[in-house]
A and B are shown apart, each in its own frame.
Chain A
Amino acid sequence: MIVHGVAGLVELCLVGLLPALAVAGISSATLFLVPLASSAMAGIAATIEFGVGGSIGGCFVVVAVLANIAAALGLAVPFLAGVGWPLLVLQAPVIGFDAQAIWLVHTALVWGGHHTLVAGLTSNVYGFTNTDYPPLVPGTGALAYAVVGHVDQRLAVVATAVLSACAVAVLAAGITRVVPPRAGVVRRAGAVVVVIGFCGAVFGISGQFAVNGYTDTLWSAAALVAVVYGLVLPRTSRNLLVAWLCIVVASLTKNEGFVVSGAISVLVAVRCVPWAARRGRHGSGEGWARRLPGAARALGGAGWVRLVLTAGVPMVPGALWASFVKLNGIGSQLFISGRTESIPLRLSATAASMGRQLDLAPAALVVLLVGALTLRHRRRRVGAANPAWLWTVALAGLVVIGATYVFGTIEIHWWLSTSVTRTTIFDQMAFLVDMTIWALVAMTAPGRREPEPDDDAAQRHEPVPAARDAPRVEAGVG
């Protein structure tokens, strides 16, 4: 009885979730508004049943579907438009080679249960599937199998592609936050066009790998969400949590995602912790600026402890997986056999091959140079941090991928020819993100001073602190 009651309540809440979010945003009121939104739909459905005909269930479904579509459109029209149309190819999905040989095999192992999973991942026979790869995508696919009750490879591929598209949409949503809330209608409309173009361009960088069951787009986009929210946008508790969540996603998606996420996590901590401590000392801290140092102090107190905690928390799930892999003696297939080529030869082949793929790098460098020389004041005004953060992460990604090729043991030319188009997606996407942010900065009005957004109060539309208390967001420091 209780179970049925809870199930009914959950069902009711799920139906009203999107409309409530569209109306009230994320706040404490939203939680209680959700069942009310659902019951409002039920009331409208009963009215239709009375006036037009049909059953309460049928009328409710019609009303709920219409309300949810309207809410979804109201919440995310530009992003839906941006990431929706490339997904049309999923009507007849193409399953990529690695998707079949790695991700769908791992998904089947997860679906098979604990014993099947452990036996499979620790077996040499499955070595060709890179058994040390993290489990986010297989876990999601297996969950989809559990919902439909049987193995459905097409469903798993579609789930991966939709996850990738969602990560791209969150990335686009983060980038648009560079545009100040008080910007004019024309500038905001321009930003929407830019963002729709950005979403389409990300799918262009990824090519078929965004939709054929590969995971490179997913980890790259998730890691860049962490970069945008943690290293570009103003330091707020909400931005930090979004960055952390996406660090978890990227680190649990692929090994290179784990390593790059580690670098991002450290940089986010380096950017945020000293600032939070400063805010706490001055008594002007809001949100996590007060909470996080306090929590960290309870565990140890020293500044470096706070730094390690902030950097370490989002890496815990990925580190846990890596520990399980290590404890079970599962090694990476990329370093397992003897290397046949010299390091200089591998280095030159890697540099040449990756260089050919990074065709956005020259344009991004020019934009960086021009932007830094002429637009740094505008960038500071909109609260976007120094582009050096993003470029540091992009370089870290290049070094991680490059080092894997150079110090790996697989025959280098074959390896590069079969993978370099995918492994450079992260850096190509990072260059595109930086150029898009600079373009949005360039589209802001010159000389118009925007309210300082660099604290939680601005997020909650509360009065902005006095200028002398507000932290300095310098193009070279922030």
Chain B
Amino acid sequence: MRGRDVRDGHRARPRRRVASVLGAAAVVVIAAVSVGVEFANTVRTTSLLSGPVLDNQYHINATQFACLQGEIRRDVPKGASFYTGGPRNADDAALVEYATPWATPTWNRRAPWELALSKGPCWGVGVVAHRR
């Protein structure tokens, strides 16, 4: 069957065969270029993310996170609710991330504990806990 395009029992016209071959070539080339461009993006991203700078940054972030979590666990009892300073407080999100699921954040000012970020031992940041 090589060289013949048979469909529904009829021999396809040569013009259609040529169009089919050209179309196949065009599709393969365009798809290959598109895949190649995105593949190059992957190579770039992979080498960027594997670099020593980000490795070091991850180490700092991870140890800082663990350190701040440790400070909260040391000062605040498990399950206690704490006031974070309200929705407009810029540190609110960070404190919520550090405290979950050890303690329960709330915007209620009557909460038994109040937490705030300050200067401290965790790469320059610490948590201050006040019992109210």
Contact = CB atoms under 8 A, between A and B. Distances in A.
The answer to whether A and B interact is yes
Interface of A: 85-86, 88-89, 91-95, 100-101, 104-105, 108-109, 111-113, 116, 119-120, 123-129, 153-154, 194, 197-198, 200-205, 207-208, 211-212, 360, 363-364, 366-367, 370-371, 373-375, 377-378, 432, 435-436, 438-439, 441-443, 446-449
Interface string B80-99: 00001001000011001100
Contacts of A202: 38
Contacts of A374: 19-20, 22-24
A204 B20 contact: no
A126 B92 CA distance: 10
- The 9 A-B residue pairs with the shortest CB-CB distance, nearest first, are A374-B23, A112-B101, A204-B41, A204-B38, A201-B38, A442-B24, A439-B31, A204-B42, A92-B55
A91 B42 contact: no
Q: Is the interface of B mostly helix, strand, loop or mixed?
A: helix
B93 A128 contact: yes
B118 interface: no
B7 interface: yes
Contact of A112 (B46, B48, B100): B100
B62 A435 contact: no
Contact of B35 (A108, A154, A432): A432
Contacts of B21: 446
B125 interface: no
A446 to B, nearest CB: 5
Contact of A363 (B4, B30, B49): B30
Given A197-B36, A446-B5, A92 B45 contact: no
Given A211-B49, A435-B31, 19 more contacts: A92-B50, A92-B55, A94-B58, A108-B100, A119-B104, A120-B101, A125-B84, A128-B92, A128-B96, A200-B38, A204-B38, A207-B41, A208-B49, A370-B23, A374-B22, A378-B20, A439-B27, A441-B27, A442-B28
A154 B63 CA distance: 12
A105 B96 contact: yes
A132 B35 CA distance: 35
A436 B33 CA distance: 11
Contacts of A373: 19, 23
17 contacts: A101-B93, A113-B101, A126-B96, A194-B35, A200-B39, A201-B35, A201-B39, A204-B37, A204-B42, A208-B48, A366-B30, A435-B34, A435-B35, A438-B31, A442-B27, A446-B17, A447-B4
Nearest to B51: A92
A409 to B, nearest CB: 16
B39 A125 contact: no
Nearest to B25: A442
A154 B62 contact: yes
Interface residues on B, range: 35 or more
B19 A363 contact: no
A367 B31 contact: yes
Contacts of B43: 200, 204
Contact of A95 (B4, B23, B58, B100): B58
B14 to A, nearest CB: 12
Contacts of A94: 49, 54, 57-58
Contacts of B48: 208
A124 B87 contact: yes
Contacts of A366: 30
A92 B104 contact: no
A164 to B, nearest CB: 13
B30 A200 contact: no
A198 B43 CA distance: 13
Contacts of A153: 62, 65
Contacts of B61: 95
A18 B49 CA distance: 32
Contact of B100 (A92, A109, A127, A208): A109
Contacts of B87: 124-125, 127
Contacts of A441: 27
B34 A360 contact: yes
A364 B25 CA distance: 15
B106 A125 contact: yes
B127 to A, nearest CB: 16
Contacts of B26: 370
A183 to B, nearest CB: 14
B97 A100 contact: yes
